[in-house]
Amino acid sequence: MQLNVKVIDNTLNPDFVRKYILDYFFEEKQNLRFDVYDIDSKSPDLGKHDFLGQVHCTLGEIVGSPASRLEKPLGGIPGKKCGTIILSAEELGNCRDYATMQFCANKLDKKDFFGKSDPFMVFYRSNEDGTFTICHKTEVVKSTLNPVWQPFSIPVRALCNGDYERTIKVEVYDWDRDGSHDFIGEFTTSYKELCRGQSQLNVYELIRWDPFFPPQVSLLSFIVEQEHTFLDYIKGGSLSVCWFASLTLTLLVLKGNPSQSTSLHYMNPYQMNAYAMALKAVGEIIQDYDSDKMFPALGFGAKLPPDGRVSHEFPLNGNVENPYCNGMEGILEAYHQSLKTVQLYGPTNFAPVVNHVARYAAAVQDGSQYFVLLIITDGVISDMAQTKEAIVNVSALPMSIIIVGVGQAEFDAMVELDGDDIRISSRGKLAERDIVQFVPFRDYMDRTGNHVLSMARLAKDVLAEIPDQLISYMKSKTIKPNPVPPAYSPSDDPQTNPV
């Protein structure tokens, strides 16, 4: 798509006032290019005008800059300083309210043959064509006919699309491990009705096959507040998204020797392996939100030189004092070098790496930093109980965990850690937030060889939940965004000569 700005006559410091509306997606790499010309005539052919320079960036770079204002030098003309371009972004205001509500139910059906039910609720927004779109699913409450679900928050626009009288359908199911959830009943309501709060008007009888003695679902609380968005926190200039890359290097028969083509770590001179492709796909997007582009990269499951000590928490660059790598290229280089210096070795323990990042997150809980741990693994895990305990403990910290599974394993343990169906727990304690996202790498392999497109889909799926997870942490700590700095004006910076 090509967009043109209005020509500004006779100036070396133009301030282009025309704005363009773009759809922004945190989880996608949205490439932009800006070309600047000196217009000499009314000809639409740019070849007949003087080229002044160009700049490449991503929308994420602009949004992730302090105050969402990015300043970059123009290039494209060898040996010539082409000036500077200043790019800024702002979020369009819309319906930014969100509703926090809590429900309970009484006398639900007993669906499990050897026990009670494991109920959960699914909320649907009605569409203008009469269909319904799912907008929220509660957690599963185990072994009860009288569940009290945890409060949850949802944007009002997601619940009713701004139409307060639009029908909202709610279905109640009994959860089954095999996915064949048993239907218990349903009811309909609207945002307008829910706003009445806890009352007899918000006690609903479930419609089901058996019309006698229908169970009831009751609204316990309903609060509406203004929603702070991910961009509010980024644009306030106080938040940096820091990420750690961690790769399992454990030696298994499946992985083999990294020098052999059967190994998952095999370094083909013509193509990246799955570990490198996953690193690059995720890292190139999330690095736009880190101010210094220096990232710690850790390995686990290897014997380290010189004494052969087994480690589940070591820097890929070999520098214990400074495990930071310069950008994505630095991480990939450290990964490739580590394969030449360490000896791959089992078992595969996740907990040390999770706890390693947790120590950083625990030290910064004021909302100024948010940590993302990327784990790339073959799915084998030797310390499941300890890892679950670590995840439950860090769920209260400013931290998210992304797990990418490579190879052909079943990844059942990774699905359990993801906790989409049942929130992860340890020693009777539930995780405070859903902070883990798992995807199997093989689901994104393009048989046509279009790895660029397939890796873009991978990054989109693993990063899509990060903004909501970050916001959920900020809400849990009642942290509000910093005020947005004043909009930039060329008169604010007389020393700069932007083009």
Residues 289 and 393 grouped into a single domain:
yes
Q: Match 């820091």 to its residue by tokens.
A: 242
Q: Mean pLDDT throughout 186-194?
A: 96
Q: Provide the pLDDT confidence category of residue 121 given band limits of 50, 70 and 90.
A: very high
Residues 109 and 50 grouped into a single domain:
no
Q: Provide the pLDDT confidence category of residue 248 given band limits of 50, 70 and 90.
A: low
- Tell me the CATH number at 428: 3.40.50.410
Residues 123 and 80 grouped into a single domain:
no
The residue range of the domain holding 142 is: 97-226
In a domain, 489, yes or no: no
State the Cα–Cα distance between residues 466 and 468, nearest whole angstrom.
6
Q: Please say which residue of 226, 246, 276 terminates a domain.
A: 226
- 16, 35 Cβ separation under 8 angstroms: no
In a domain, 499, yes or no: no
Q: Is the pLDDT of residue 276 over 50?
A: yes
Q: Is this prediction's pTM over 0.75?
A: no
User: How many distinct structural domains can be found in the chain?
Assistant: 3
Q: What is the pLDDT of residues 423-444, one digit of tens each?
A: 899 999 999 999 999 988 888 8
Most confident of 57-71, 105-119, 447-461: 57-71
- 460, 28 Cβ separation under 8 angstroms: yes
Q: Six-digit token pair at 275?
A: 């570990």
Backbone angles phi, psi at 309, to 5 degrees: -65, 135
Dmax over CA atoms of the chain, in Å, equals 84
- Residue 250, pLDDT score: 43
Q: Mean pLDDT throughout 158-170?
A: 91
Residues 424 and 353 grouped into a single domain:
yes
In a domain, 321, yes or no: yes
Q: Provide the pLDDT confidence category of residue 137 given band limits of 50, 70 and 90.
A: very high
Q: Provide the pLDDT confidence category of residue 239 given band limits of 50, 70 and 90.
A: low
Q: What are the b/e assignments for 214-238, b being 16+ CB within 10 Å?
A: bbbbbbeebeeeebbbbbbbbbbbb
Q: Please say which residue of 172, 196, 226 terminates a domain.
A: 226
How many CB atoms are located within 10 Å of the residue 42 CB?
Answer: 7
Residues 191 and 257 grouped into a single domain:
no
Q: Please say which residue of 206, 226, 246 terminates a domain.
A: 226
Q: Is the pLDDT of residue 293 over 70?
A: yes
Residues 291 and 313 grouped into a single domain:
yes
Residues 456 and 316 grouped into a single domain:
yes
Residues 462 and 346 grouped into a single domain:
yes
Q: Mean pLDDT throughout 7-14?
A: 83
Residues 399 and 254 grouped into a single domain:
yes
In a domain, 488, yes or no: no
Q: Is the pLDDT of residue 259 over 90?
A: no
89 alpha carbon, distance to own chain's centre: 20
Lowest mean pLDDT across 89-98, 281-290, 386-395, 413-422: 89-98
Q: Is the pLDDT of residue 145 over 90?
A: yes
The residues, any chain, with a CB within 8 Å of residue 246's CB and separated by 6 or more, are 297, 298, 299, 300, 353, 373, 374, 375, 376
In a domain, 150, yes or no: yes
Q: Is the pLDDT of residue 467 over 80?
A: yes
State the Cα–Cα distance between residues 323 and 357, nearest whole angstrom.
12
In a domain, 486, yes or no: no
In a domain, 366, yes or no: yes
Q: Is the pLDDT of residue 135 over 70?
A: yes
State the Cα–Cα distance between residues 399 and 418, nearest whole angstrom.
14
In a domain, 483, yes or no: no
Residues 164 and 235 grouped into a single domain:
no
The residues, any chain, with a CB within 8 Å of residue 289's CB and separated by 6 or more, are 60, 64, 234, 240, 241
Q: Mean pLDDT throughout 271-290?
A: 84
Q: What is the pLDDT of residues 67-114, one digit of tens each?
A: 888 999 999 999 899 999 999 988 776 567 889 999 999 988 887 666
Q: Is the pLDDT of residue 475 over 70?
A: yes
Q: Is the pLDDT of residue 494 over 70?
A: no
Q: Is the pLDDT of residue 192 over 60?
A: yes
Q: In 51-129, where does DSSP find H-type helix?
A: 59-64
Q: Is the pLDDT of residue 307 over 80?
A: yes
Residues 240 and 222 grouped into a single domain:
no
Q: Looking at the DSSP assignment, which residues form a beta bridge with residue 376?
A: 247, 404
- Tell me the CATH number at 155: 2.60.40.150
Residues 67 and 106 grouped into a single domain:
no
Cis status of the peptide bond prior to 306, with omega within 30 of 0? yes
- Residue 252, pLDDT score: 33
Q: Mean pLDDT throughout 343-357?
A: 85
